[in-house]
C-alpha cells in the first residue's frame, strides 16, 4: 500500500493510510490473527456473518421494491441555490 505525502503533511498522509487500511480490512484481519480461533468458533462466526449478509441483502432488495422505507441519509440535503433579484 502506498500513500503520497504532499507538502510534508504527514498527518494527512497517515489519515489517508488508515482509511485505505480500514477499507482493505487490514485492521480486522490483524485483530482476528491476534489469538487462535477454534474451528468450531470459526464455523459459528462464518455462519453468523453469512446470515448477516443475507439479511442485509434481503433488506436492500425490499427497499428497492418499495416494501420497506429507504434509510434516511445522515448527510443534510443540499440547500437550493439563492436566486438573483431581478
Cell of 35: 489469538
Where in the chain are the domains?
1-35, 37-66
Instruction: Give the model confidence (pLDDT) of 57-68 as tens digits.
Output: 999 999 999 888
Cell of 77: 440535503
Nearest to 16 by CA among 25, 31, 27, 5: 5
Reported confidence tier of residue 83, pLDDT bands at 50, 70, 90: low
Amino acid at each position: 500500500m502506498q500513500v503520497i505525502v504532499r507538502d510534508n503533511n504527514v498527518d494527512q498522509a497517515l489519515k489517508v493510510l488508515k482509511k485505505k487500511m480500514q477499507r482493505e480490512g487490514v485492521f480486522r484481519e490483524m485483530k482476528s490473527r491476534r489469538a487462535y480461533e477454534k474451528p468450531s468458533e470459526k464455523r459459528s462466526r462464518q455462519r453468523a456473518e453469512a446470515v448477516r449478509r443475507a439479511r442485509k441483502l434481503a433488506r436492500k432488495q425490499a427497499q428497492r421494491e418499495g416494501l420497506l422505507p429507504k434509510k434516511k441519509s445522515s448527510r443534510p440535503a443540499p440547500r437550493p441555490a439563492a436566486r438573483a433579484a431581478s
